[in-house]
Amino acid sequence: MRFDYFEPFTIEEARETLRRGKGQYKVLAGGTDVILQLRRRVKQYAGLVNIKRLPGIGVWSAEPNKGLRIGAATLMRELETSSAVAATFPSLLDALRVIGSVQLRNIATIGGNLCNASPAADTAPALLVLGATATFLDNGSNPRTVPVENFFSGPGKSVLGPEGLLLRVDVPEPKEMTGDSFERLTPRSAMDIAIVSAASRVTLDRSSGRIEDVAIALGAVAPTPLRALKAEEVLCGHEPIPELVMKAAQIAMGECRPIDDIRGTAAYRKAMVSVLVRRTLERAVERARMRA
């Protein structure tokens, strides 16, 4: 296993290095996925480009009325231990807490979890329902910003080209009376990859208690993380009574496209989608009411 190693100090230097690699160089942040791929010879790269020294790439902030601005190389553990994340973005905290071990989360980055583009990426469903956006540089000179749900293009693939560089993830401040939740199912422990994951966000109308806005996202049941749009439509404008929540959860089953693999059958995954969507919706509603 031989490769060149680069440690640029500016974004311009990083992009020039990636251009020279002509698709054979890989961005390195935490390295928890990239190094494992190299060791197992799943993938081979001619060079690794460590971006940790780039200005602002590992910096994040939480500001009232603005939300989160997360540099791509921000450590997961930094977000996990933040009181601001815990208070305002509980679904993201739910997701961060179940990723690997504490030791791994002290190395792994939020950008790496997205750029790896695994259909089972744990942060993805939470970021989808929270309305997060991804800002990146690619072939052009100006940054592009897309919703996180449009960042993924297939299993292990994102909209980033060979010269692409994710800069940050922005998560907007939620409205009043909004609650959100994430849950996943794994074969054995937190160290496993999810069989199914789901996240829900619910905003309630203060006067009527009806659902003003809702988002449901699924992971590990399609080529990319996806929104359950038909299930959302059933809920909007109605009171979140148990019968309606169950109906939405059952509709979500029909919106996923799971496969059979060693971790579970497609039929089992579909059944578990209903369970996790119901649970995350119920918890999201409960959290929204607590913010009244």
In this structure, what CATH number is given to the domain that contains residue 208?
A: 3.30.390.50
166 and 189, same domain (yes or no): no
Looking at the fold, whether 115 and 187 belong to one and the same domain comes out as no
Domain count, the chain: 3
Q: Are residues 250 and 201 in the same domain?
A: yes
pLDDT for res 162: 86
Tell whether 20 is covered by a domain.
yes
Q: What is the pLDDT of residue 191?
A: 62
pLDDT score recorded for residue 122: 96
**Whole-number pLDDT of residue 16:** 95
Which pTM was predicted?
Answer: 0.94
Whether 206 and 161 share a structural domain? no
Instruction: Give the per-residue pLDDT at 249.
Output: 98
pLDDT tens digits, one per residue of 241-289: 999 999 999 999 999 999 888 888 999 999 999 999 999 999 999 999 9
What CATH number is attached to the domain comprising 40?
A: 3.30.43.10
Q: pLDDT by residue (tens digit) across 177-193?
A: 999 999 999 987 656 78
218 and 251 in a single domain? The answer is yes
Q: Which of 115, 110, 118 is nearest to 82 (CA)?
A: 110
pLDDT at 57: 97
pLDDT at residue number 190: 57
The answer to whether position 55 is within a domain reads no
Q: Are 73 and 153 within one domain?
A: yes
Does one domain contain both 210 and 139? no
Pair (141, 219) in one structural domain: no
189 and 280 belong to one structural domain: yes
> What sign has the CA pseudo-torsion 48, 50, 54, 57?
positive
Same domain, 82 and 140: yes
**How confident is the model at residue 2, as a pLDDT?**
82
Question: Do 193 and 273 belong together in one domain?
Answer: yes
Query: Could you list the mean pLDDT of each consecutive 10-residue stretch along the chain, which spans 292 residues?
Result: 91 95 92 80 88 96 94 98 97 96 94 95 98 93 94 96 95 98 85 91 98 98 98 98 98 95 91 98 98 84
Residue 249 lies in domain: 178-290
Q: Which of 121, 155, 171 is the last residue of a domain?
A: 171
CA 112 to chain CA mean position, Å: 10
Q: Same domain for 31 and 77?
A: no
